[in-house]
Structure 1
């Protein structure tokens, strides 16, 4: 469907016969970009119920609109604030359901990552470019999964928003020559990891459970505007803490568990077993988790003489090994109970994003 304007209105009743077929996709194109919309993600009955209309009365509005001048200026300012420059058109991609009397509601894609193609002004180096989401409230940019080719970015996300591509060139003085230097630099340019200061990363410093949850949430491009109830399930996660929203988003996506006493222990250092479990759950959320049989699990763990030190996450650790996300500390030791470092975390996140086909 090629548009002359910025949006199209589609009667939901015209889609009813296609939404149960996972192979049916609606491709919507205009000069600003392309929306690739698998029709089975449209829960028409649910959407109509939210708007108090019938499916026959429901309208689906798909919009691919170039940002206005004020928004474009804000995006350019936000890019400059993180040391970057904008390398694409700035486009608002949105899918909404319309009811009566101008009632509307955003389409909920669940955990389905929908592809959008964003034109760029030039070809970019995928190692120094990242697709970003612009938050009009905070005026900040955040990472979204994307693959780059020629002068296009294929952005993958499960929500509507304003998107752009920026280029940055970040590094840290204390990672030069470090075994994880390339991973850290790549994820810094993707706005996934931050330095401790502008010039230091402290790769061997331990990382807390809340800090790693925040990194996984960023890697998946998740919405952190979650209800208080989502993080309030943990009695040690207060609403005024920096990590409340990311813990809530991680819990909502079933990336994290608490302890039996109802705590999350956000400031406790995370160990490699917990790290592997969280990354495997992220793979599952992204639809990229490999299957591991009980026989494979035994084989994958058998080569490590300390695999009996894994307390509760044998399946997750075996899956992480199969996916190429976890290596041993040595050829025959896993170090599952060892505290994880910032460098190890960056390495696992890079492998997560590559395995999920979320970065080049």
Structure 2
């Protein structure tokens, strides 16, 4: 038996792969567990492959994020603790390092020279509170009418107490506003207040507005579900407009190899947490949309082509177009959930649109994801479109404008089955009175004529801010063959600058092409719109 076992072990040794060095087990070391601002922390250890490192500040915001490459099974990286208090508040920092499926966690502290966490000076003066273990002081923050200036705790968190909210809400019109100090948005400092505040605001039908140096969020009180939150439960909100490594990685992962997208470095990351008993629970989905404003720097604004930029939700694997409009260098958009949003330029070119008279209209609507190509390379501008295709494009445009939020009613058509890509758009268009059918049928696969398209276009125009160019009455040579039910709409569309005709005739019975629909729908949008 011993001879057989020895032979088997010898065979296993012969068959085992040969390596220049043994596979490195994952280990992590830190050069210190207490540091002062300006000092350096060295991370080192052994690992097979890259090591992902994330360090979180005491207020739960991201302090450092990096991918450290290992060489010959070893890795090392030096991190400098910033001198500025806003970037490196005193307190305990949590470090997580991942290699493969293994994650190692450590902590270190940023202290003063005596190893303590002294109170931080607050910009512009004011009271500095150290929140007690059981909650936030009721009088934290300074109310001025419906506006509140928060206090800054020793751990860098901005805090507002319940009594302060009560005072401000009594003065408020439709919202209570918290004005964070300058640079708070770019440093990612947290804001905390009692969760019960939202119940108070909800009962008074008031919103909560949070202003930072270059970002604003307006939160309806019912947007954040707090349930039966007790007195010791807080809401923590972190608004960060810095293009952090975390945000860069999310954008890069979402865009992938698609060269049609281009970032301008403008992002906003919002984190909302329910904090209770030392446990923080992220709140992602919102009960009502939140309005977000992101102010661009002069440099960022110069990088944007007005008709091609929009706001996208990025999660590291895909993009979700959100829309957004820009006015005076500030983007405004609606968010139904929170994480990272980025302003990206989407310049989609089709090989069959180069030099075409509708090229710019197609490019502009493609950037708003209102029109798409028949494939990645072709738009096919001369192809006629169907009634269902037209309704879908038109309702995407109405939705982009954000002024027709009426919920869709019941589907009134017997030939629009649920599950078809156009079903929701056609149903919504019918609910808004933009399209009608034929004795209970919509005829989704029929081609749409120019006069049919113009009637729907004029009905949709009431959801857009259009100014009449004062063109008077059209003088189409074929006006007599325009159907009676479409004549008024054709006149109105001409007056509003939505149609041109071919110079002499309107051609009411002619089918609408994919190029024509892009130009017609594009005229609903304001010049230079996003």
Give the alignment's TM-score, normalised by structure 1: 0.66
Higher gyration radius (CA): 2
Q: Which residue is equivalent to 1:312?
A: 485
Secondary structure of the structure 1 residue equivalent to 2:516: helix
Secondary structure of the structure 2 residue equivalent to 1:221: helix
Q: Indicate which of 328, 345, 349 corresponds to 2:501.
A: 328
Q: Which residue is equivalent to 1:119?
A: 296
Matches within 5 A, 1:1-360: 14=170, 17=173, 28-31=210-213, 33-35=215-217, 73=249, 75-80=251-256, 83-91=260-268, 106-107=287-288, 116-119=293-296, 122=300, 123-126=302-305, 129-134=308-313, 139-142=318-321, 144-147=323-326, 152-156=329-333, 163-219=341-397, 220-221=399-400, 230=409, 232-252=411-431, 254=432, 256-286=434-464, 288-290=465-467, 299-301=472-474, 303-308=475-480, 309-331=482-504, 333-354=505-526, 358-359=529-530
How many Å separate the matches in 1 of 2:486 and 2:174? Answer: 40
**Deviation readout 1:250-273 (Å, 9 max, x if unpaired):** 345x16323142222222222222
Q: Report deviation, 1:171.
A: 1.4
Contact 2:429 2:435 in 1 (8 A): no
Secondary structure of the structure 2 residue equivalent to 1:173: coil
How many Å separate the matches in 2 of 1:62 and 1:258? Answer: 46
Secondary structure of the structure 1 residue equivalent to 2:523: helix
Contact 1:206 1:339 in 2 (8 A): yes
**Deviation readout 1:81-117 (Å, 9 max, x if unpaired):** 653133244336799xxxxxx99973479xxxx6733
State how many pairs are aligned.
Answer: 317
Q: What is the Cα-based RMSD across aligned positions, in Å?
A: 4.8
How many Å separate the matches in 2 of 1:17 and 1:228? Answer: 28
Higher strand share: 2
Q: Report deviation, 1:327.
A: 0.8
Contact 1:93 1:160 in 2 (8 A): no
Contact 1:33 1:117 in 2 (8 A): yes
Contact 1:183 1:346 in 2 (8 A): yes
How many Å separate the matches in 2 of 1:315 and 1:261? Answer: 22
The alpha-carbon distance between structure 1 residues 94 and 340, as it changes in their structure 2 partners (threshold 3 A), is farther
Q: Report deviation, 1:202.
A: 0.8
Structure possessing the higher relative contact order (Cα contacts under 8 Å, 6 or more residues apart): 1
